[in-house]
Every structure is written in structure tokens, then in C-alpha cells.
Amino acid sequence: MPRRIFKRYMPHPDSIREHKSLRFLGTLIHDANLWHLNRHSVSRAMLVGLFSAFIPIPMQMLLAAGLAIPLRANLPISIGLVWLTNPITMPPVFYCTYKVGSWVLDTPPQALPSELSMAWISERIATLWEPILVGSLITGIVFGITGYFATMLFWRGWVRHNWRKRQERRHNPQR
């Protein structure tokens, strides 16, 4: 079951609760639903984590945690998925979100210079921010919803597959 895969890599809730740097959160992270591994909490975590990964802000993990707590999504998975957009993948991901935003806003995308620099970005930030933000929101919503339903379908299929295997073993016991 997918639960075993996730449990193998997840920290134990008690170790998180007792961590010194997280004590300021008080009882917010003591809700057992934030740590359960079931179809609904993992699917919600996919939605939250993938959406947050595409939002171009610093500290995306705080956004993921802030959304996971009220939505009762699995907290470690929500936060972990944010790392899909890491320093290596950020440039191509946010370039694609910029292209999506430019297309939606019907503005011609600006050509990238041969050497991308902070000076070029700071000169054009006034025209770049809107397509990046719109594209990021759209891409985050699309990937988040797709991840949610894909996880629900995969989990349901996995449970159905295991249930059929158990039925076959009951009807065809080996000697």
C-alpha cells in the first residue's frame, strides 16, 4: 500500500513535536490528522504542496504548512513537495509559468538575453511580475488539482488491486 512507502521516509510525529525550534507553534502541529497517511490527507497534501511549489515567493514551505494545517493535509508531504522547485529547477519552472502568464494575459513574452543576470531581471521586473504571478497561480492550481485527483485514483486503484489479490488467495489457497 502507498502508506508503507510514505511511512518509510516520514519523521515520527513525536520527534517533530519535541523539536526545540518548532515549540513556538504550540498545539497547532499536535493534530493527529496532520500526520495520518490516508487517501484523503495525502491527496490534500499533493494539492497543497504542488500549488505552493509553483508560487514564486521565498519560504514556500511556510505557505505549504499554513495551507496544510487548516485543510488537514498531511504536513510532511505538503512541505516536502515544495522542494520540486529547488534552486536547480526554479529557472525552467518559473520561465514556463512566465510563458503561461504571458499567454493568458495576451502580452508578448520578452526574449531572454544570452546571459541571464540579476541586472536584467531588476530592469524588467515591472513588466515581468504580472505574467509570472498569473502563470504561477494557474500552473499551481492545475498541477495541484491534477496531483489531488491522480493520488486519489492511484490510491483507490492500489487498494482495489490488493483487495483482488486477497480475494484470489482466499479462493485459490496454495498447499
Please write the tens of the pLDDT for every residue from 71-80: 999 988 999 9
For residue 115, pLDDT over 90 is answered with no
pTM of the predicted protein model: 0.79
Domain extents in the chain? 2-171
- pLDDT tens sequence across 79-100: 999 999 988 988 899 889 999 9
Secondary structure, 3-state, the chain = CHHHHHHHHCCCHHHHHCCHHHHHHCCHHHCHHHCCCCHHHHHHHHHHHHHHHCCCCCCHHHHHHHHHHHHCCCHHHHHHHHHHCCCCCHHHHHHHHHHHHHHHHCCCCCCCCCCCCHHHHHHHHHHHHHHHHHHHHHHHHHHHHHHHHHHHHHHHHHHHHHHHHHHHHHHCCCC
